[in-house]
Amino acid sequence: MERTRERRRRRGIRALAAATGVLVAAATAIVAVAPAQAAACQAVRYTIVSSWNGGYQANISITAGSEALNGWTMQFDLPQGVAISSSWNATLSQSGSTVSARDVGWNGSIAAGASREVFGAVLSGSSATVPTTFRVNGEVCGGGTTTPSPGPTTPSPGPTTPSPGPTTPSPGPTTPVPTPTSTATPPPSAPTPGTSLPPAGARTSMAYDLIVRADDKGYTPKSGECSKAVHAEYWTYGPDGKVYPTWHPTRDSSGCYFGHEHGDDPRNAAVFTRSGVGWPAFGVTSEALMESTSSGSHRHEDHVGHKVVAVSNLAVVQGDNGNFTAPGGTTIATCDVLLKFHQGTHSPDAFTNNVHELILNQDCRRSNGQTFEVRYTALIPSGRPGGFGGTDCPGPIGQGFTNVGPAVPADSPSDTTSLGRLITGPACAQAIRDRVLRYDPISGGQVPLDSYQLHEFWFANASVSGAGVSFSMSPLFYVLNPGRYYDPSKPNNLGRQVELCSDTRIGGGLCQQVRSQGGNIPWDDPRSPFTGTFREYRVGSLSLTTSGPTTIYTDAYGRNPSTSPFAGSIKQFFSGSTGSSMYIRGASKDWAAQGVHLPN
C-alpha cells in the first residue's frame, strides 16, 4: 500500500537528521505534554476541505464554552470503510472505527468562547457520511460539518485560509490598476488588506510596483483568476511608510482565486497584534538595498514565493537538538512565532541566488519567568552564492557543490557554516528510475527511492553582533513537493518533476497521482501535486544576549549594526536573553488549497 505524503515527509526529515549527525528519534516517539484539563466545550466543527475519488481532507476546529480549554483530547467514530491516512498538529491513533486525538502542546489552549482549528487529516474512503458526535476531554460536545462550495478541487489537498474580509468584486482580469503616484506622507495605519487600493499619493515600493505592472516577478493571473486590481488591494505600509504587498488568502471574498498561496494568515499568530509586528511587508529588504547600493547589487524576489508561518504557544523542550520529534522532557520556554520567508520552488532563481528575505517576529517566555523578544528582518544567506549542494537523493546529503553561474546580487554574502540550499538534480531522477535502495528510519529497512525524494532542504545561518546585541539563528526550510529540479540539459537548467512522472519507473505517490489523471499534466496545472505547498519551517537553534530592550539598525543583510539609522538601514529590536542556545520549532503542513498551482 502506498505510503502517505505525511509518512514520506517524516522519512525525509529523519534521513536529513541522520545525515547531519543528529540523533534520530524512534518512529513512535511523541512530544510529552501535560495532561488535558477538563473544561467546557461548545462545539466541534468537522470541515471537509476537499474531496476526490477515494478520499478527502478534513480540518477539525473546537469552540470552547464558558471556560477556557487548557489542553484537549478528542474521540469520535468514523463511518465504516473510512480510515485516517495522515494527520498533522495532533497526536492521533485509530482503533477500529474510533479515532483518538490530543493536542501537541502549542495548540492546546483555547480561550473561553473562542474557536481554533486544532488539527487536520487526510482520510481514505467516502465523505458522504461523516462523524457527528465528538467527545472533548471526556464530555460530549456538539458537532457540525461543512463542505466546500461546488467547483474544481485540487488533487493534493491542504488546509485553507480565511478571507480577511469583504472586498470589491473582481472587475475582470483586464481591468487596469490605478497606480498611486507622488510622495505624500501616508496615514499611520493601513486598512485591512483586501478592502481597497492604496490612497492616491501613497508612495509605493518596487515590490508593489511589480505586482501591478506586467512583470514575471509580479502577479500574472490566468483566465478566470482574480484580476490584478483585486490582487493590488492586498497591501500594507512598511516601516519606511511605503506601500508593500502582503499576505492574502488563496480565494478573495468575491469568489475568485489567486492561483498561489502565502501560507498562514498572520492574524493567527498571537504576536501579530504586538508592537512592531502586524502585516508583513513583502520585499522591504529589497527596498533597503535599492536605497543604499548600485543597481548591480539589487535583489527583487518574485511575489508568489513569500511564505508565512504563524504559531502560538510553541513549546521549547530542554535537550531538543533538532530531531524529527521534540524529546519528552521539561519545557524551558513557550514562544509565539510569526515568520515570513521567501522560498519559491518553481523557478531557477535558487540555483544561483542564495540570499532570501526573512522576517521573524518572536516573543518567548522562559520557565524562570524571564522573556525575550526578536523583531528581525534581513536578506539571509542560505549556503554559498552561485550554486547549491546535493540532497539525500542519491546522497550522501550535502555532498559536493554544483556551480551554476553568478548570483544576484553579485556581491551576495556567503554562508559557509550551514549546509545551504540542497536541490535535486538528474542523478536523483536516475537513481529513482534504477530503484536505488536507501535506509528508511521508519521501517528500519531498505526501501527504493521514489518521487517523494525530489525534495529540497534549505539551511541557513543569520547573526547580529554589536551595538549591544549578540544574536544568532540557524533555521531550516524544507519542501516535500517542489515544482522544479536542476537539469543542465533544459532551458535555464529548469527541469519539472511532473514531467518525470511520464516514466513509469519513477514511483511514489506524487507521480502515481499524476499518472492516475492520465499523465502529461502541464507544470502549472492545478492538478499537479508538485506545487511547493508541503513545507516544514523551523526557527532552529537560536541564541540571544542583550543588556536590555535594544533598538538597533543594520543593513539589508543584517550586518553593520548601529544604534543610529543610516542610508538603507533596517530597524531591528531585541530584548532579553535566551540564557543559552535553544532549539525552536515551527510548523509542518500542506498549504495546498483549491486553485493553487505553479508558480507558487
Question: Can you tell me the mean pLDDT for 158-167?
Answer: 35
In which element (H, E) is residue 285 found?
Answer: helix 284-292
Query: Band of the pLDDT at 16, cuts 50, 70, 90?
Result: very low
**pLDDT at residue 38 above 70?**
no
Question: In CATH, what number does 32-146 get?
Answer: 2.60.40.290
For the chain, helix, strand, coil in percent to 5 are: 15, 35, 55
Any bridge partners for residue 377, and if so which? 359
DSSP label at residue 267: G
Render 494-505 in DSSP notation, one character per residue: EE-HHHHTTSTT
Phi and psi dihedrals of 206, rounded to 5? -60, -40
Dihedral over Cα of 373, 378, 383, 389: its sign = positive
CA distance 81 to 471: 52
> Could you read off the pLDDT of 574-600 as tens digits, one per residue?
999 999 999 999 999 999 999 999 999
Q: What is the 3-state secondary structure (H, E, C) of 20-33?
A: CCCCCCCCCCCCCC
pLDDT at site 175:
34
Q: Which residue has the cell 468537522?
A: 46
C-alpha cell at 131: 462523524
Side chain identity at residue 599, one-letter code:
P
Is pLDDT above 50 for 71?
A: yes
What residues does each domain of the chain span?
32-146, 164-260, 280-590
Q: Distances from the Cα of 560 to the Cαs of 167, 290, 382, 469, 557, in angstroms?
A: 42, 17, 19, 12, 9
Looking up cell 474544481 gives 152
> Alpha-carbon dihedral of residues 169, 174, 175, 179, nearest 10 degrees?
120
Find the mean pLDDT for residues 168-185: 35
Q: Provide the 8-state DSSP code for 204.
A: B
**pLDDT on residue 410:** 92
Average pLDDT, the chain: 85
Give the pLDDT of residue 156. Answer: 35
Strand ranges in 28-114 using DSSP code E only, listed in sequence order = 41-52, 55-64, 69-70, 73-77, 83-88, 91-95, 98-102, 109-110
**Least confident range of 182-196, 450-464, 470-484, 508-522:** 182-196
d(CA 354, CA 412): 7
Query: Which SS3 state, helix, strand or coil, does residue 266 take?
Result: helix
3-state secondary structure of 236: strand
CA distances from 270 to 20, 257, 274, 335, 479 (A): 33, 27, 8, 10, 25
Q: What is the pLDDT of residues 422-441, one digit of tens each?
A: 999 999 999 999 999 988 76
Q: Which residue has the higher pLDDT, 393 or 323?
A: 393
Q: What percent of the chain has pLDDT over 90?
A: 64
Contact between residue 402 and residue 425 where contact means Cβ atoms under 8 Å apart? yes
Condensed to tens digits (0 to 9), the pLDDT of residues 78-120 reads 998 898 877 777 888 888 889 999 887 777 888 888 888 888 8
What pLDDT shows up at residue 146? 54
513-520: average pLDDT: 91
Instruction: Give pLDDT, residue 252.
Output: 96
Quick one: pLDDT at residue 345?
95
Q: Could you read off the pLDDT of 396-416 as tens digits, one per residue?
A: 888 899 999 999 999 999 999
Instruction: Output the pLDDT for position 518.
Output: 87
pLDDT at site 348:
97
> For residues 119 and 104, what is the distance between their CA atoms, to the nearest angstrom?
10
pLDDT of residue 224: 94
